[in-house]
Amino acid sequence: MCGIVGFTGRHEAAPILLEGLSKLEYRGYDSAGIAVRKGDTPVRIVKAKGRLKGLYEKTDSGKAMEGTCGIGHTRWATHGEPSENNAHPHCSDDMNVVAVHNGIIENYQELRDKLSRKGYTFYSQTDTEIVTKLVDYYYKKYNIGPIDAIAKTMVRVRGSYALAIMFKDYPGHIWVARKDSPMVIGVTDGECYVASDVPAMLSYTRNVYYIDNLEMADLGNGEVHFYNLDGDEVKKELTEITWDAEAAEKGGFEHFMMKEIHEQPKAIRDTFNSVVKDGRIDLSSVGLTDDIIKDISQVIIVACGSAYHTGMVDQYVMEEFARIPVRVELASEFRYRNPILNPNDLVVIVSQSGETADSLAALREAKAQGIRTLGIVNVVGSSIAREADNVFYTLAGPEIAVATTKAYSTQLICGYLLALQFAYVRGTMDEERYLSLIAEVASIPEKIEKIIEDKERLQFIAARLANSQDVFFIGRGIDYAISMEGSLKMKEISYIHSEAYAAGELKHGTISLIEDGTIVISVATQDDLYEKTKSNMVEVKSRGAFIVGITHYGNFEIENTANYSIYVPKLDTHFMASLAVVPLQLLGYYVSIGRGLDVDKPRNLAKSVTVE
């Protein structure tokens, strides 16, 4: 999603803004721009369509724009096509107000009509220009200060937004506001930063404030002051970011995605060790006591994209271990169908960023009904982390590539450990098996390392897949959930049409799409379902499919059916998703490379979907 940066201090702003925007490229964008001001002189705005390279060239890497206060933006088009005119920053007619904005203003047409009647003209198709001029309108009409003008605007607009604004009358100051769109503010050595995500400012400071929903802030003179909608000042505590700038760099890898695939063993170990002490699970840091666990009657897992796929795995594992009903819901559908929730339900919201718009809305729907909520998130201080009743952090560190890898893997670990603890506390699993399975989960990082060590073998089959038009993934049970993630990885970074199907559903229509040369990737790690899956492999092979089979070592019989076989280490079948997904991540990566595509920044996609 769009990226915001801002800086005010003693140093030249333009180079800092450009560097910050480059750290937010992973969010996805189609144009970019910066606005910089030197003292009392007018603001200068420079924009460019396309990649940041164009903005660097126009500004001579920032050297051509003098000034110590500025804001910048990378835009992902919503209202209006990608163009220089539609790029941010936007300004009022007389340059009194200059702003950048993430989010969507739902009543923008109504506001545009109002402002047109008041004499405002418009040069873009964006909702951002409208909100910028609305701030200007209130500021002038009521002869009020920036905080009051922004507050009136916030009350008037509907939708989601993160705003960074400069006023002509207040050199050296940046005002910010947010509703349902992430924003973080950093301070250090008498200088202030604002960004839509931490990596943009991590080279300069690790001391940050998280601005809450429907709050505003004034950044200037090395200080930050926060205000609520009534204009009353609000006190905030600083948070220290524990990972350093190097964690958000490529570290010698060609792409962030490959780096993050390699980081999965460490991320899993860190997440595991955060709640496992002396071989036993301790959820005290999560806030789930034994009494709470015993009282839960149903678990509803709500998520989007890859996080939804981890929920599918968790459903199988938790129902099997804890014998408790589990539903998995798409966050984008959850609140719109008036979900039936019971007082003793637990709603689990899974989100890497902790800012996913639909997931955050689902969390608020559950809380409005008085239901206990648990967030499984990667970002400390994110909206979901702050608003959920309980939080289970995935310690994956910064994940920059759009296609998730290590966040997905750590979310699986959280699900496994919750399932095991629920089972043990609720008496559906004895201590011997409980301890044995915890040890199985502990072995996952080492086994992933073995898969990654042998990754070059996958380049052979990736070359075969690179020219494909369609790829089908099939599996049963947990293997079906793994197939869904493998299919998503393939389509989102290689742009090959791919679909995942429960293998038993092939004969109900899908098998009609199979013809000579069709690629079918069959995930077959579940021993009790292997024979059933094998029969589906035979069905598609008899119709000309080229089959790639994924199973565990020892199951070499698969070579009698599959045209190409991929093996992962043996593990308890409930946890095989953690191993089988790794070659699927690598396949997607190598196929994308083979097609000459941008692995880390696939077209039309954003890392964090913070608008509906």
Q: Which residue reads 């795995």 in tokens? A: 313
Q: Which residues are catalytic?
A: 2, 607
Helix-helix angle 577-594:444-453, to 10 degrees: 30
What residues contact residue 506 under an 8 Å CB cut-off, 6+ apart? 474, 536, 539, 540
Nearest to 31 by CA among 125, 136, 157, 133: 125
C-alpha pair distances (Å), 591 with each of 263, 460, 463, 468: 20, 10, 7, 10
Contact between 71 and 164 (Cβ < 8 Å)? yes
Q: How many residues does the chain have?
A: 612
Helix (H, G, I), strand (E, B) or coil at 5: strand
Write the DSSP symbol of residue 248.
G
Contact between 131 and 161 (Cβ < 8 Å)? yes
Helix (H, G, I), strand (E, B) or coil at 203: coil
Contact between 134 and 200 (Cβ < 8 Å)? no
Q: What is the DSSP string of 91-149?
A: E-TTSSEEEEEEEEETTHHHHHHHHHHTT---SSS-HHHHHHHHHHHHHHHTT--HHHH
Contact between 218 and 170 (Cβ < 8 Å)? no
Q: How far apart are the first and last CA of the chain?
A: 11
C-alpha pair distances (Å), 217 with each of 162, 197, 233, 340, 445: 11, 17, 9, 38, 43
**CA angle (540, 545, 549) in 5-degree steps:** 80
- Tally Cβ neighbours within 10 Å of residue 242: 10
